[in-house]
Amino acid sequence: MFRLTQWSLKNGIALFILCLLVLGGGLFTATQISKEIMPDTSYPALWIQISVPGQSAEENEKTITRPLEEKIMAANEAQKVVSTTSSHMVSVQVEYPYGTDLDKVNSKLEAIVNSLKIPEHAERQILSNDNAMNTIYYFALTSKNPDQLQQKLNNTIIPELKKINGIANVDVQGEKKAKWLIEVNQDKAKAKGISLQTIKETLNAKNTDMTVGAVESDGKTIPVDIKGDLRSINDLKELTITSNAATGAGQPGQPSAVSPKVKLSDIATIKQTSEDTEISRFNQEPAFVISVTKEKSGNTVELTKAVQKVIDKYKSEANYQVYPIFSFGNEIETSISKLVKEGLFGALFTVVVIALFLRSFRATIISIISLPVSILLTITVLDQVGYTLNVMTLGGLAVAVGRIVDDSIVVIENIYRWLQERGNQFSRKEIAFQATKEVMSAVASSTFVTCVVFLPLALIEGYAGELFRPFALAVAFSILTSLLVAIMLIPVLGKAFLTKVKHKETEGKLASGYEKLLRLALKRRGWVIALAILLLIGSVSLVPMLGFSLMPSGSSSALMVGMVLPATTELKKTDEVAKKVENYLKNKKEIEYSSAEVGQSVDMMSMQKKENEARFMVRLKKGYTADQMMSSMKREITNLVKAEVPQAEVSVDEYSMGAENQGNNINIELYGDDLLALEKASKQVEDLLKQNDQLKNVKNEMNEVRTKWSISLNQKGKDLNLDPNQLMGFMNDQLQPVEIVDYKLNQDKINLTIAYDKKMTSKEKLLDLKIPTSSGEKPLKEVANLVEEKTPIDIKREDGHTLANVTAQVKGNDVYAVSQKVQKDVAALKLPEGVSLKTTGGSEEINKEFAKMGIAMLTAIGLVFLLLSITFQGLLTPLVILTSILFVPIGSFGSLLLAKQPLSLSALIGILMLIGIVVTNAVVLLDRVENNRRKGMDVDEAIVEAGKVRLRPILMTAVATVFALIPLALSSDTESLSAILISKGLAITVIGGLTTSTLLTLVIVPSFYRAVDRFRRNKERFEEEIDQIGSEKTA
């Protein structure tokens, strides 16, 4: 590698130009690279959605869900299959292992779906998580003229937003959808023998626009079209309906003397109405709530700005107000700016440390040149390999700031020392080369050691691997580029600018004091080693006091309030109760603003509209967190809602789009075939979890069971020749309005609803319905039986088993202990017969991910040992160097305990990083010792001389790294939790571990080296004797 240094010293101008190109290219890439909040850790998944109106949840489960699940699982490619079945929708989520080609499995899923026997009118689609769940902007628009704003949205704003490259979808809540109601007089229609279905079929027949063929005329092919003859609402009114006289429009027993034709206006009234399927408000004002979803490859920050630009463009023209509810782009910029600020403070502290040690302005500036060059070059590399600038990649760069300058510090310090000691003997160019060459082996070895430490982390599979791989690569890339800067650019700058260095004759007080301590440690090495072992045992004993967590927990400044009323509740009643909740939220001084969506499922993952549900997004004022507010708000809102509807359920959960609480969930999965038993069991578990004050966000995902009336023919009905299909057709006509979507009138498309004027309001009226039979009309109660049953609104299944899921999040940091207690408490419950349970998340997830990290650490140590054995051409010195790793837990665990941080994945990453850093210090020290030994020095003098010479660079690199991490360790800004939670635990771990391990490395590693030297000498003596014996035999 010294040839790179030689080339650089000969081609300084070319090297400067190359550096300028790197800086320019890096700055350009930094402005263009896609920015996200976190790496994508979601499993590759596909969602199958089949809309089947008119069928019950149980019927859909039997005819669609189960056959679909069986075929998917038979293909043996899916990792998990989760389904939700309702009365009108079947939704199946299919998860695959990381690395799966979704395009390939998508085509297979399409073939499976197409092979099912699904009703022809059913709508089906397959979505991938390439664009699912990537909502980037959530905002509200209000106006004094909502009708005008809705028209502007539909005609201009929404189409323009959808045209933005990278936007996948724009969804608008709160629209009033205009429709035409054909209200049929039930008595007149019955007298004429006309059903709702007959009207629909007639309307569709009159609305046919199609090409029926072509005519050859004068050598030309002229297509012939048939056009529907309805052009206006008046045409609709004049539409002639023909009844089926033979069967009474399909109703058995209907008299045949009915008039065969009748105008629609004679039996029905046609009027325009508007329906509210959902209602949206912002701070109690009617609003349109808009969510914008991006494609996976889209740049969130740039797309958010593009969306905002379109919204601002029409703001004055349409006279509306814009209220951001949640902006992912703003969140990303806040988090990134937070990390950049902490990184800049860290860099500043590093500069101060280097200046204090070197006491040379020029040497300080030269050593920190590696920072901008390495960071910008790393950003360019990350962009080229397809990574985004996110919390993890930026976090990697932030924690690597101290390590990036280490190689440059060692090189410039050695050049500086050579100039002090030999400045009069050699030229500056020769000194720059020889000083760099002298430390090149140690610098390169230490850099490669740090990089190989992160290699196993990049190869870990699962959540930990997907989360920390970008972090590992960012650190590795930045350190590798810093090595190139140290051996190429730093010597050139040192030669050019270190022109006036005073000759040094005496050593400083620090070096002389360290020499005395080191000589004492070498004489009392047995006691020193015993002390190190005792410290290690003491540090390990701290582990049970730390607590275990997959990730450090935090609390955001946003809440999601959910309200679920009984399933039969109409939208109007839900809205009345929602307004009371909004009024409560408005009067809370801690709340900055709130939005309400009435008629929308409280489940953010669901696309279903539910008239009995409402959800409220709440943003707290600065200084307040969700953890502070959740308990009291849930109690007060629950009391408020239950005073109106005693059967209502209220949830108040923390809302966050980041990853601060990922992995701290506890999931209780209940399985069984009896839905009522599952409902009872899930309620038992929910009540148990709510009693635990260490848990928050307790959710019971077992949906409400409601009453249904099941009607079947009795013997009399069968004797009258009725069959189930006739009964179903009659009941469907009586109870189910008919919808016609996008009906074409001239150039307009309208929505039509055909319904009877009489509403069915009771069981008695239902049973009194007159059904035509072969013996005349008979009351329904005479020909059929009605049984009251319980049926689920939704049926959830996982991997072929019916599922009820109860989830919660741990409040504190000791997730392991809390989840262990939850498992014990849940196991003690007496669940209904036939219900089994499984606990996931929590301690199970911690065990799994910690095991992977343990394997990664052992692999890293093995790779480090391999690299060191190659570098030092033996085993004893590498083994001595590895003993420095034993000092890491002493400071790491102690600092975590003092900072009240758990042992989490981020802390383990810090320990992994320390393996590389600490070994680097030992390498720099013992490399000098080995060089001294080869020059013939006595072992003690070789150790002492190396210690004195390497003391300053070791302390400089360690202190620079520690000070660079202090801003991250002190971060506590709740505005960018995602940015600081991961890096904070890591920074605290590295600061504590590096501080103690550096001090112990300077004393204890030399003692270990001196202790094993006896074995080395015995080995050398033995080899000499073998060689002598061999020589004598030869002679």
Homologous superfamily of domain range 134-175+276-327:
Multidrug efflux transporter AcrB pore domain like (3.30.70.1320)
* Domain 134-175+276-327 identical in fold to domain 558-655: yes
User: Half-sphere exposure of 980 toward its Cβ, with a 13 Å CA cutoff?
Assistant: 21
Task: Using DSSP, state whether 525 is helix, strand or coil.
Answer: helix
What pLDDT shows up at residue 330? 81
Q: Give 503: exposed, middle or buried? Use CB within 10 Å, 0-12, 13-18, 19+.
A: exposed
Question: How many angstroms from the chain centroid is the CA of residue 460?
Answer: 18
Q: Please enumerate in sequence order all residues whose Cβ is within 8 A of that of 862, keeping only pairs 6 or more positions apart, or say none.
A: none
CB 388 within 8 A of CB 467: no
User: Half-sphere exposure of 306 toward its Cβ, with a 13 Å CA cutoff?
Assistant: 19
d(Cα 200, Cα 739) in Å, to the nearest integer? 9
**Lateral strand order in the sheet of 748-756:** 268-275, 177-184, 748-756, 738-745
CB 720 within 8 A of CB 774: yes
d(Cα 599, Cα 595) in Å, to the nearest integer? 13
The residues of the chain scoring below 50 in pLDDT are: 131-132, 245-258, 505-506, 658-661, 973-979
CB 304 within 8 A of CB 40: no
d(Cα 952, Cα 955) in Å, to the nearest integer? 5
d(Cα 446, Cα 455) in Å, to the nearest integer? 15
Render pLDDT for 812-869 as a digit per residue (tens, 0 to 9): 777 888 888 888 898 888 988 888 888 887 777 788 888 888 888 888 889 888 888 8
d(Cα 953, Cα 998) in Å, to the nearest integer? 11
Closest by CA position to 42, among listed 894, 741, 657, 934? 657
CB 150 within 8 A of CB 288: yes
* C-alpha dihedral, 481 to 482 to 488 to 493, nearest 10°: 140
CB 137 within 8 A of CB 327: yes
**Could you report how far apart the first and last alpha carbons of the chain are, in Å?**
44
Per DSSP, the chain holds a count of helices (H) and strands (E) of 37, 31
Question: How many angstroms from the chain centroid is the CA of residue 971?
Answer: 22
Q: Cβ–Cβ contacts within 10 Å for residue 332, how many?
A: 28
The pTM is what? 0.71
775's enclosing H/E stretch is none
Homologous superfamily of domain range 43-128:
Multidrug efflux transporter AcrB pore domain (3.30.70.1430)
Give the pair of three-digit tokens for residue 491.
Answer: 């010597």
Render pLDDT for 590-613 as a digit per residue (tens, 0 to 9): 999 999 999 887 776 665 678 888
CB 520 within 8 A of CB 491: no
CB 262 within 8 A of CB 570: no
What pLDDT shows up at residue 275? 66
d(Cα 581, Cα 569) in Å, to the nearest integer? 17
CB 835 within 8 A of CB 672: yes
d(Cα 1000, Cα 1006) in Å, to the nearest integer? 10
d(Cα 681, Cα 679) in Å, to the nearest integer? 6
Phi, psi of 115 (to 5 degrees): -80, -10
β-strands 649-654, 609-620 pairing: unpaired
Task: Using DSSP, state whether 807 is helix, strand or coil.
Answer: strand
Domain 558-655, CATH among 3.40.50.10300, 3.40.50.300, 3.30.70.1430, 3.40.980.10: 3.30.70.1430
Q: Please enumerate in sequence order all residues whose Cβ is within 8 A of that of 660, keeping only pairs 6 or more positions apart, or say none.
A: 551, 552, 553, 554, 556, 977, 978, 981
According to DSSP, residue 316 is labeled H
Query: What's the CATH fold of domain 178-204+212-275+707-792?
Result: 3.30.2090
Rounded (10°) angle between helices 939-969 and 391-422: 140
Closest by CA position to 880, among listed 929, 914, 913, 938? 929
451's enclosing H/E stretch is helix 428-459
d(Cα 355, Cα 828) in Å, to the nearest integer? 63
Question: How many angstroms from the chain centroid is the CA of residue 374?
Answer: 29
Please provide the DSSP assignment of 260-301 as one string: SEEEHHHHEEEEEEEE-SSEEEETTEE-EEEEEEE-TTS-HH
What pLDDT shows up at residue 978? 46
What pLDDT shows up at residue 563? 92
d(Cα 297, Cα 175) in Å, to the nearest integer? 30
Place of tokens 């740049």: 299
- Measured at the alpha carbon of residue 49, what is the angle toward residues 43 and 55, in degrees to the nearest 5? 140
Give the pair of three-digit tokens for residue 684.
Answer: 């038992």
Rounded (10°) angle between helices 905-934 and 977-1034: 30
User: Half-sphere exposure of 339 toward its Cβ, with a 13 Å CA cutoff?
Assistant: 30
What's the CATH number for 356-503? 1.20.1640.10
Q: Domain limits of the chain?
A: 43-128, 134-175+276-327, 178-204+212-275+707-792, 356-503, 506-556+843-1035, 558-655
Question: How many angstroms from the chain centroid is the CA of residue 499?
Answer: 53
Render pLDDT for 772-806 as a digit per residue (tens, 0 to 9): 888 888 898 989 998 887 776 778 888 888 888 88
CB 993 within 8 A of CB 916: no
Please provide the DSSP assignment of 683-714 as one string: HHHHHHHHT-TTEEEEEE-SPPEEEEEEEEE-
Give the pair of three-digit tokens for residue 114.
Answer: 């197409």
d(Cα 667, Cα 965) in Å, to the nearest integer? 35
Give the pair of three-digit tokens for residue 161.
Answer: 């937003």
Domain 506-556+843-1035, CATH among 3.90.1150.110, 1.20.1640.10, 3.40.50.300, 3.40.190.10: 1.20.1640.10
Give the pair of three-digit tokens for residue 196.
Answer: 């709702």
> Using only C-alpha atoms, what is the Rg of the chain?
37
Beta strands in 537-693 (DSSP E): 558-564, 591-600, 609-620, 649-654, 665-671
